[in-house]
Structure 1
Amino acid sequence: MTYKDIDLDKDIIQKNKIPLLIEDENWIKLFGDVNDKNIQYIKEELMELVKKQKELERQKEKLKKEKLHAMKMILGISDTINNEHKVENIVLLDEYKQKLEDINKELEDIMYQLEIIPQDMKDMNFELLKATVEYGYRELKTKEKKLNAVTEELETLREKLKDLINEKHDYEEWIDATYSFLHGMLGSKEMEKLDKQILDRGEPI
């Protein structure tokens, strides 16, 4: 199954108030760097859209400042022509009028792009959600199998550890009981002598 085959409600992004995934901390932590070509491709596309939106906003603010400056210049130059009779400024006035017209056209184009880009981002975010769901469920199955295998291995090790602890306890009990018996039979002096003769040299009895 590919992410395109997943049947998700198109309105789920709005219904569940799903954020832009590439800006969500949990998504970044779980899926941001996964080795999945669909996720990585859509992630890059979405990042480009975000970058483009920010750049368009920057250009819009820059043009608005330029437009304000051009309008002030037009008013100032018009004043010199009308009140100071500086007809030579007509050429400069025409230049600023043309500049204002160009700015308005550019602003109109940017505003149009800024209007449509949120929907493009929403659509791309939805595609990323589908790719994430497909990858997530696939990985869930894989990791559940691995978890079961690890759990079984832990259970085996736990049983083995239990047997080793019991074996250790049996050895300790036997050693303590044997020392106690020999000590009772032979006394401290003989035990110390035998310890030096036999145990310290590592010789079998």
Structure 2
Amino acid sequence: MFNKSINLDEDILLKNKIPLLINDPTWTKLFGEANDKSIQNTKEELIQLVNNESNLDMKSRELQKEKLNCMKMILGVSDSVNNENKLENIELLDEYKKRIHEINEEIDEVTFQLETIPKSIKESNFNLLKATVKYGYDELKYREKVVNQVVGEIESLKEKLMELINTKHDYEEWINETYPFLHGLLGSNEMEKLDREILK
């Protein structure tokens, strides 16, 4: 088809409020299964990024929940050490404090990834848009050519059909006039005899 590079302004995503293409039903219908490596590879990359974002978001919520539980446990254990003199729980207190420190580090890492991944998703969506536009124009040119060929064939078949209809009409008209004429000339007995001899 045509191999011109697609030069799109990245701001078009914002200006035209272009959605995440993999979530758009029309895009999915027209291009989701397109036989195009660039579209399929970029689509898979975008799906992976969106899934990663979803997983990171879930992990962040789980970590926050675990941190809250650890803090509650620290309060309970601290109370048992300070007010009930359960010194054996000091080790448990240290474990919860250590776990909170680990959770904080994990939260920082997840938060950093959650802050950077939207940019990657935007870039991937833009690349998918470019691949879609290129493939779309290639297909438009090809399909318009096919449509024009088909329209030409339909017109040709229409003409042929009209010729056949006219031929059928002319022959039927001749038959319908000739048979009664001969019948009138020869009579029914002679016509029946000829029909048996000639038309069998």
**d(CA) in 1 for partners of 2:32 and 2:97?**
49
Q: Quick check: 1:164 aligned with 2:181?
A: no
Show the counterpart of 1:182.
Answer: 182
**d(CA) in 2 for partners of 1:2 and 1:97?**
60
The residue type paired with residue 156 of structure 2 is T
Number of residues of Structure 1 aligned to a counterpart in Structure 2: 199
Give the Å deviation of 1:47: 0.9
* SS of match in other structure, 2:148: helix
Q: Cα distance 1:2–1:46, how it changes in 2: closer, same or farther (>3 A)?
A: farther
The residue type paired with residue 19 of structure 1 is P
Show the counterpart of 1:25.
Answer: 25
Q: Quick check: 1:193 aligned with 2:193?
A: yes
The residue type paired with residue 86 of structure 1 is K
The residue type paired with residue 140 of structure 1 is L
* SS of match in other structure, 1:18: coil
- Alignment gaps of 5+ in structure 2: none
**d(CA) in 2 for partners of 1:103 and 1:22?**
33
| TM-score, structure 1 normalization | 0.91
Show the counterpart of 1:122.
Answer: 122
| TM-score, structure 2 normalization | 0.93
**d(CA) in 2 for partners of 1:22 and 1:152?**
37
The residue type paired with residue 194 of structure 1 is L
Show the counterpart of 2:95.
Answer: 95
Counting only pairs closer than 5 Å after superposition, residues 58-137 of structure 1 correspond to structure 2 as 58-137=58-137
Give the Å deviation of 1:93: 0.3
The residue type paired with residue 24 of structure 2 is D
Identity value in percent: 59
Give the Å deviation of 1:190: 2.9
Q: Cα distance 1:2–1:89, how it changes in 2: closer, same or farther (>3 A)?
A: farther
Q: Deviations over 1:22-62 (max 9, x none)?
A: 11111111111222121111111101101111111221222
Q: Quick check: 1:40 aligned with 2:40?
A: yes
**d(CA) in 2 for partners of 1:82 and 1:182?**
129
The residue type paired with residue 106 of structure 1 is E
- Alignment gaps of 5+ in structure 1: 201-205
**d(CA) in 2 for partners of 1:151 and 1:71?**
74
Give the Å deviation of 1:194: 2.0
**d(CA) in 2 for partners of 1:143 and 1:185?**
62
Moved over 4 A (4+): none
Please, what is the CA RMSD of the aligned residues? Answer: 1.6
Give the Å deviation of 1:153: 1.7
Give the Å deviation of 1:108: 1.7
Give the Å deviation of 1:2: 5.4
